[in-house]
A and B are shown apart, each in its own frame.
Chain A
Amino acid sequence: MFDDFFVRAMIGGIGVALIAGPLGCIIIWRRLAYFGDTLSHSALLGVALALLLELNITLAVFGISVAVSLLLMLLQRRANLSSDSLLGLLAHSALAISLVVLSFMSWIRVDLIGFLFGDILAITARDLIIIWGGGGAVLILLMLIWRPLFAATVNMEIATAEGTRPEYINFIFMIVMAAVIAISMKIVGVLLITALLIIPAASARRFSTSPEQMAVLSAIIGVISICAGLMGSLEWDIPAGPSIVVAAVICFVLSILPIKLSLRNSH
């Protein structure tokens, strides 16, 4: 009963979940959820530009995400506005501009809903190569910078003083984040990427005693959400992207139920 497209969706989804888990932990620890939201909203601008200039969509989204991150860093230095205002400003101006650009291109029939909510069941073999190739590269990069990245997450000043070069590490982190947004857009869509990043990580929090444990656990919870969501989508004929996010939310609700944890009380 598992059609070919369904297997592709499963493999692609698992690939995204594996990288979204650890990255989502960093996002939660750094209180960057709105940054993720801003990047994913501006991803639509990448889509619009890709269609206009006939570029590869994933690459265009990656490029725009990096550009928006750099613009944010620049604005944080120049403008006298708080970060949350700047994030809102960037997110919605990018979204509005992309909708305007798309509306001009009447010759292209754009499935806007597909971009907003994802189209995991339409994953091609080529998408799988991008997800596992790009995702694998990103995961390796993240593992290489994990220790200094974590040190910078705990305290920038200690990290700077003790020579772990946090500025440089933060720049790599920004690239990693842009790449993950670009890769996961097809799976859950622009509107739900942040959910895929932070909900598994939030669910993993209660069961974790170390940062590395939380990163691995949230990847596992992400994979469970992808599998459960896709099954649910097939079973009840509901859209796959939202179904995956709902599965993740159910994991989160289960994680906060007051069930006694025998492991923690054993010593």
Chain B
Amino acid sequence: MLENKDMLVSLENAGIFRSKRWLVKGVTMSVSAGEIVTLIGPNGSGKSTTAKLALGILDADEGSVYRKPNLRISYVPQKLDLNWALPLTVTRFLCLTNRAGISEIETALASTKTLHLAREQMNNLSGGEFQRVLLARAILRSPDFLVLDEPVQGVDFNGELALFSLIEDIRRQLNCGVLLISHDLHIVMSTTDRVICLNGHICCSGTPATVASSAEFKSLFGERVASGLAFYEHKHDHEHLPDGGIHYPTNKTNASINDSTKSNPVSGKIPALADTAESDQDSDNV
């Protein structure tokens, strides 16, 4: 691997051992300033674990991790559960780990098209809005090293494209290194300098074109995906189930069960909103 002084983070043969198995093993990679490196791989392949190694959230059980001293890091985790007891506006959330002036906050929010949410409570945001706000917070810190773990989950398709081009802009403006984890192979391929394909270890890595044509990639994601990368056409005719299965909407019984479980958190929310509206009306009447 090329040694250069712009190297921000590097992993050398790093591994994490938990509950009698290696989550990842023998990972050697690096991210330099101005570079977008993308981690791809199936569920449980150790993408997030690798990112946490690079961030210093997890300590390597073997191998070594180097981080440039005084590196300014921004991290967008895959999941962020906020306690309902926590009153937290979007603006306050943006200042979680750093102080910032109102104009800087507004610029960061505007860049992810969330300026109108500035005074909203974090708990009231939709999945896609939440994700944009997380990204705005990461941008606000003007990081040297930006780690994004599935940053576009819950964002609609056009928004997704916009966010990826935003990530490219940030990279250009700040000359920061970006470590991106994504399951959306198609978009990843167009924005990335280097792709690392993980499955507990590094299966293959290189430029998007090299990776897409490599045999390891095809065996991991299937010939269909690999060939589809060239002429990509978005046609989502099926659903991925939590257990890893695939569901086609022709099977009605399955579909209804699936729909009801999926819509539960939403339907649980709507009556609550209706209740407050009612009680507001009641107090108006009194």
Contacts and interface: CB of A to CB of B under 8 A. Distances in A.
A214 interface: yes
A162 interface: yes
A213 interface: yes
Interface stretch (B154-162, B204-212, B224-232, B276-284): B276-284
A155 B97 CA distance: 11
Interface string B81-111: 0110111110011001110000000000000
Contacts, number: 77
A110 B158 CA distance: 72
A183 to B, nearest CB: 24
A19 B141 CA distance: 32
Given A157-B75, A158-B75, A164 B97 contact: yes
Contact of B52 (A157, A202, A214): A157
A158 B57 CA distance: 9
Interface string B250-286: 0000000000000000000000000010011011100
A210 B87 contact: yes
A256 to B, nearest CB: 11
B80 interface: yes
Contacts of B98: 162
A230 B141 CA distance: 49
B96 A209 contact: no
A31 to B, nearest CB: 7
A41 interface: no
B87 to A, nearest CB: 4
Interface residues of A, number: 31
A155 B77 CA distance: 9
Interface string B60-90: 0000000000000111010010110111110
B104 to A, nearest CB: 16
Contacts of A267: 119
A162 B141 contact: yes
A213 B77 contact: no
Contact of B89 (A148, A161, A210): A210
Interface string A149-164: 0110111011111111
Interface core residue of B119, B276, B283, B284 (most chain A CB under 10 Å): B283
B88 A154 contact: yes
B73 A29 contact: no
B57 A160 contact: yes
B191 interface: no
Nearest to A260: B283
Nearest to A31: B83
A207 B121 CA distance: 13
B96 A29 contact: no
A170 interface: no
A183 B200 CA distance: 51
Contacts of B119: 267
A265 B284 CA distance: 13
Contacts of B74: 162
B80 A155 contact: yes
Contacts of B92: 210-211
Contacts of B121: 209
A154 to B, nearest CB: 6
A157 B89 contact: no
Which of B52, B87, B93, B282 is most buried by chain A, counting CB atoms within 10 A of its CB?
Answer: B87
Contact of B96 (A28, A30, A158, A258): A158
28 contacts: A30-B83, A154-B88, A154-B96, A155-B77, A155-B80, A157-B55, A158-B77, A158-B96, A159-B97, A160-B55, A160-B56, A161-B55, A161-B56, A161-B75, A202-B85, A205-B87, A209-B87, A209-B89, A210-B87, A211-B86, A211-B88, A211-B92, A214-B87, A258-B276, A258-B283, A260-B283, A260-B284, A267-B119
Ranked nearest first, the 6 interchain pairs of A and B with the lowest CB-CB distance are A258-B279, A161-B75, A161-B55, A260-B283, A208-B87, A162-B97
